[in-house]
Every structure is written in structure tokens, then in C-alpha cells.
Amino acid sequence: MANKINPVLLCGGAGTRLWPLSRKSYPKQFVKLIGEESLFQASARRLTGTDFTAPSVVTAADFRFVVLEQLAAAEIAPADILIEPAAKNTAAAICAAALALEARTPGALMLIAPSDHVIPDADRFRATVAAAVPAALDGQLVTFGIRPDRPETGYGWLALSSVPTAEFAPTPQPLKGFVEKPDLATAEALLAGGMHLWNAGIFLFSTTTILAAFAAHAPEVLAATRAAFEAAEADLSFTRLAPDAWADCPEISIDYAVMEQANNLTVVPYGGAWSDLGDWQAVWRDGKADAQGVVKSGPATSIDCKDTLLQATSGAQQLVGIGLEGLVAIAMPDAVLVAHKDRTQDVKEAVIKLKAAAVPQAETLPRDYRPWGWYESLVVGTRFQVKRIVVHPGAALSLQSHHHRAEHWIVVEGTAKVTIDETVQLLSENQSVYIPLGAVHRMENPGKLPLTLIEVQTGGYLGEDDIIRYDDVYARGQGAKG
């Protein structure tokens, strides 16, 4: 293909309808929900090949190292990673990506793709994208519509101007209009009429076309995003958009800001399998069910259940369902969800209620991911906390100190290089070290295998914000995560 397509992966969403597995601290796009890769990794891999350049990613600061780590595991090098100072919906994210690509390759084609969709037939999807290229080169804003197979009320719909082929061939046609998420009766009518597709939120256009559309229909978005991009700062391999200018950007979707206002819209049908895994019913629907319609994941046992999803996430737990029908049961070490499949769209409301009550499980997982690895709290008391910490090979925590706590480190797997003030030592399995309150210290993994240790903290305050960083290879600055 003469005109390479530049993929842009959007991965700033929280995926709250898949709580408790997906949370603000580690949302669904980074989780292995289907298969051996995360949804983000599968999305990036789907948009590789001779027709595509290296992907660009737009994400939040807390996920920047997760993005790098997961792309590296998939052996995909990104073109750039743009850091949003705050979530502003899809219009600002797409505008920022367009400005960055326009600066590198003026007039280039860009494919906007959410990073949490499941599209099993990657070849068919790539062929559908290729069929849309001529329209995009001709100045059209191209959107991709999914062949509907049920009266779905959780998606917006796209109105066609002509009847699609029986095979839903990827033939571009003018888009007649948008339909907001319908009620059930309207969705049934849309499905029966055969003139509507699901709105997947996937787009193809040139930077020239989309920036002109922003200028015409959402100039306030373009102005604020341009100011944020022009004042952006390099941070290692990331580009941090300027927070002050970004704060002025309206929080609005690309559909409302541009697409529903434009008159140069083309839709291309996609007839293959697709899911946004937007709720637990979708996970059940796309899972491998037994003869009774039961989908199981992890250490789960079903007895006389029907049309049910049982998902357990910890080997230390056993989830057992007896006589269940039409339910989802999701068990995690710190939270359990039980709901009827028809009510899984309401899980978001539960998260809002938990957040209002200041329940930590509303947004944070027991396992906290960092650029050097991860940790999880095993026991928390009034003046002590016990953690398991895993450090990747070659990784290092920041050089730091604490005002309110002392720490004991016990190595249980691997080798640790430990710095305490002026002393540097190597610890192997079954060895330990004490870090007094106020001591400047660092832990590194000099080996080729993961380092696992148990940390025992003691003190009057054990919050993650009790940290002063003096040096950090990840340039995180101060604060709990930096």
C-alpha cells in the first residue's frame, strides 16, 4: 500500500462496567480477559503489517509504563506515547494524536482504534480498513460500522444510505446519520430494518481532513489541544501534553464534537465478529460456554448452573456456583460481584456508590503496578503493613527515604542489590536487611530472574505518599507514583 496507515490506540478509559476486575488503577485494556494477551496487546498486534506504521498511543500518566512494558512483551515499538494530563474524552485525545502525526508526517492517514475491543479475525479487519483507504484519501471522515446480531441497547448505531450486501462486504457508502443508544423497542426495529450498524468508534482519515474538521466544528478543542501539544515536554520516551492548556479543553466525544456536525462522512461495514467487552454479559457471550451455557475462568466449579459466568482470579480461592441461572459471579481477593446478566450495565452505578463511600476497592486493585514491577499488601495493621514486592530483572526502585516508617526486607526469590545510605550489599534468598526510619535507600534486581521479597513496614503512617525521591531511572518526580 503506497499510503501507510498510522494506528492510534486510545487507552485512557477506566472500564468500570467490568468491576471488580477492571478498575481505575488498572483498567480492562491491560487485563488478559480473552486469550493469553491483554486487550491492548491484541489491539496493537492487530494493527501491524506491511500496511501499517508503528502505533501511536494516547494514555494517562499512571499507565505510561504499563503501555511500554506490554508493547515490549508483544515486540512492538511505538512511534510515540502521548500522556494526557487528565481524561477529556475522545475528541481531545484524537486531536492531540492528529497534531503529533501531522508534525511528523503531514497529511498522513491515521486509524483511530480503542484498545479494549475483541476482533478475532484480524485479517478480515485489516482488509476492511484497506477498503476504506481511497475514501479517506479523498477527504472523507470514515467510520466503521459493525454488523449487528442482536437488538443492543448499549451501543450507538449508524444509519446507512443503502442496503449492505448479504456478506456485509466492506463497501464504502455515505453515512446517513447517527442514532444514540436506543431503548429495546427501537433497537429491535433497527435490527429488523437492516439499515443500521453498530457504532464501534473506529475511524480512518488523514490528518489534514480531521484537523480541518476540528477547525470547522470544534475550534475550542483544536485551540486548547494545539496549545497543550506545542507546550508539551519530553519525558523519557513519552510526550507529556501541557496540563494548563489541556485543562481548557472541553470534555467531549469525537462523535459530538465533529462527526455529528460534518457532511463528509463515509461508513464501511464490517461483517466479522466484534465485541467491546463493555460489561460482564459481553464477557459471558464471548466466552467458551459448556452445554449448559456456563462460562468458567480460574478456579471455579459449576453444579447445575445454566447461562452463567463464573470467574475466579486467585488460586487461593475457590468459586462454586450451585443452581445458578442467568447470573455472573466474579471473585477477587478483595471484592466479589454477583449480578444478573441483564443488569451488568448497572455495575458502573455500583462503582459510583462505592467511590462516594470512599471504599478503596472502588478504584484500586490489591496489586499495584509500577515501572519496576509490582507489589501487593498482604496484611495491614494500625502500625504495620506486610507487602510482597516483585522487581523485574534489571529494574530498580528509586533512591528514596521515608519520614514515618522503617522497613525490613526479606528476599525469598532471586538476588537484591540494596543501598542504605553509604552501604551497598547483595542479598540472596533467605537473607534480610533493616532500613531505619529516614535512611536513604534503594533496591535493585541485578539478576536475570524476577526478584521477590517480603517487606514489613512499621511506623505511625504507612501511606504511599510518604516518600522522598532523590534519584529515579523512570523520572517520576515526587508523589506516590510520580
pLDDT tens digits along 207-224? 999 999 999 999 999 999
80 with 189, same domain: the answer is yes
**Can you give the pTM of this predicted structure?**
0.87
294 with 395, same domain: the answer is no
168: left (phi over 0), alpha (psi -120 to 50) or beta: left
Amino acid sitting at position 461: Y
Which residues of the chain fall below pLDDT 70? 1-2, 477, 479-482
Q: Is residue 209 part of a domain?
A: yes
The CATH number that applies at residue 461 is 2.60.120.10
So what's the pLDDT on residue 374? 93
Amino acid sitting at position 323: G
Distance CA 94, CA 89 (A): 9
So what's the pLDDT on residue 475? 81
The CATH number that applies at residue 193 is 3.90.550.10
314 with 406, same domain: the answer is no
So what's the pLDDT on residue 32? 87
Q: Is residue 266 part of a domain?
A: yes
Q: Is residue 16 part of a domain?
A: yes
44 with 65, same domain: the answer is yes
So what's the pLDDT on residue 2? 59
Q: Is residue 382 part of a domain?
A: yes
Is residue 119 within 8 A of residue 35, CB to CB? The reply is no
373 with 332, same domain: the answer is no
Q: Is residue 154 part of a domain?
A: yes
What are the beta bridge partners of residue 275? Answer: 118
Is residue 92 within 8 A of residue 249, CB to CB? The reply is yes
Coil/strand/helix, residue 113? strand
252 with 298, same domain: the answer is no
Distance CA 91, CA 7 (A): 16
309 with 174, same domain: the answer is no
81 with 179, same domain: the answer is yes
Q: Name 353's Cβ contacts closer than 8 Å, sequence gap at least 6.
A: none
- What is the full DSSP assignment across 314-333? -TT--EEEES-BSEEEEEET
Distance CA 144, CA 295 (A): 30
Of 221, 245, 270, the last residue of a domain is 270
How many domains does the chain fold into? Answer: 3
Q: Is residue 108 part of a domain?
A: yes
So what's the pLDDT on residue 154? 87
DSSP state of 256: I
Amino acid sitting at position 357: A
Q: Is residue 477 part of a domain?
A: no
So what's the pLDDT on residue 235? 85
Give the mean pLDDT of the chain: 94
Q: Name 200's Cβ contacts closer than 8 Å, sequence gap at least 6.
A: 114, 117, 143, 144, 145, 146, 270, 274, 276
Q: Which of 364, 348, 464, 333 has the alpha carbon at shortest distance from 24?
A: 364
257 with 376, same domain: the answer is no
258 with 306, same domain: the answer is no
Q: Name 185's Cβ contacts closer than 8 Å, sequence gap at least 6.
A: none
- What is the full DSSP assignment across 379-438? EE-SSEEEEEEEE-TT-BPPEEE-SSEEEEEEEEES-EEEEETTEEEEE-TT-EEEE-TT
Q: What are 283-286's contacts with CB under 8 Å, separation 24+?
A: 283/18, 283/33, 283/309, 283/311, 283/328, 284/308, 284/309, 284/328, 284/341, 286/34, 286/118
- Three-class DSSP labels, 429-463: CCCEEEECCCCCEEEECCCCCCEEEEEEEEECCCC
Of 317, 352, 387, the last residue of a domain is 352
Of 270, 289, 316, the last residue of a domain is 270
286 with 266, same domain: the answer is no
197 with 345, same domain: the answer is no
Q: Which domain holds residue 289?
A: 280-352
So what's the pLDDT on residue 482? 43
So what's the pLDDT on residue 33? 84
